[in-house]
Amino acid sequence: MENALKTLKTWIDDSTNVVFFGGAGVSTESGIPDFRSVDGLYHQKFNYPPEEILSHSFFERNPDYFYRFYREKMLPLEAQPNIVHRVLAKWEKDGKLRAVVTQNIDGLHQKAGSQTVFELHGSVLRNYCMRCGKFHDAAFIRDSRGVPKCACGGTVKPDVVLYEEGLDDATVSGAISAISNADVLIVGGTSLTVYPAAGLIRYYRGSKLALINRDETPYDAAADLVLHETLGDVFGEWK
Ligand code: CNA
């Protein structure tokens, strides 16, 4: 870790165009389980596999079960940003970091103060009535029972990209632009197995791609620097 960390520090010290691409592993140290770690959601027992529950067709077919699972597992409203979120926000404030591109839906980057955040998979903090389009906050979903209903009678759906749904075009364009123009790209806390999100790091054209992930990923060989460490340990260096 010593040498790799030294190199990473030099890259960051010398740059004003760092971009961070992250996933669920960024928030595990805030107490939010990821999907694929041994203690992640995919290793817990439910009546259906989580990727099926979190799909568009399941949402349509069995909204009651969807919302029961969603309220219990996907709404960590008490969670607080950890050192990773805080350091990234500070780098942006200091003029070093241009953007965070995240697959997370927990809103913790913004809670830490980050301004330019491309949320590829949406956010649990935004919810809209499928009939009249009215906005509802996350507490509305948490405090509702069964399928959450707007005053107009429509179902209120989280602004979260479910499996089988497409990503928002403007968010993807913004993310691609940030990644393809980045000087340093730090990829962290993601298994890089969920597409099309994972494929976006292919737009990076530089030679300072640092990958920080506890487990191996399919992109390890393509990175210029690989740290198989926890993000908290690495970002703790910038405390
Ligand atoms: P994933 O597939 O669960 O992978 C997470 C990766 O992070 C794994 O490879 C772990 O080894 C690694 N990891 C976990 N904790 C740490 C840590 N502290 N330090 C370093 N590495 C760590 O999650 P992805 O983000 O790759 O998959 C994309 C899904 C997960 C997206 O659709 C997200 O919406 C979804 N998700 C989001 C959240 C959230 O918003 N916090 C939580 C759970 C799942």
Active site annotation includes 136: no
Domain ranges of the chain: 1-32+81-121+168-239, 33-75+123-160
Integer Cα distance of 233 and 18 in angstroms: 19
- Condensed to tens digits (0 to 9), the pLDDT of residues 226-236 reads 999 999 999 99
Single-letter amino acid code for the residue at 214: R
Integer Cα distance of 77 and 30 in angstroms: 11
Query: What pLDDT does 1 receive?
Result: 66
- Condensed to tens digits (0 to 9), the pLDDT of residues 109-151 reads 999 999 999 999 999 999 999 999 999 999 999 999 999 999 9
Query: What pLDDT does 233 receive?
Result: 96
Q: Is the pLDDT of residue 177 over 80?
A: yes
Query: What pLDDT does 62 receive?
Result: 96
Q: Is the pLDDT of residue 169 over 70?
A: yes
Closest C-alpha to ligand 1, atom 17 = 230
- Condensed to tens digits (0 to 9), the pLDDT of residues 23-65 reads 999 999 999 998 887 777 788 778 898 889 999 999 999 999 9
- The residue whose two tokens read 């506890």 is 214
| CATH architecture of the domain covering 33-75+123-160 | 2-Layer Sandwich (3.30)
Q: How far is the CA of 51 from the centre of ligand 1 (A)?
A: 14
Instruction: Answer whether 23 contacts ligand 1 (Cβ < 6 A).
Output: yes
DSSP string covering 29-56: GGT---SSSTTSGGGS--SS-HHHHTBH
Please give the CATH topology (third level) of the domain spanning 1-32+81-121+168-239: Rossmann fold (3.40.50)
Q: Is the pLDDT of residue 167 over 80?
A: yes
In sequence order, which residues have a C-beta less than 8 Å from that of residue 36 and are 6 or more positions away? Answer: 42, 191, 193, 215
Closest C-alpha to ligand 1, atom 9 = 191
Instruction: Answer whether 27 contacts ligand 1 (Cβ < 6 A).
Output: yes
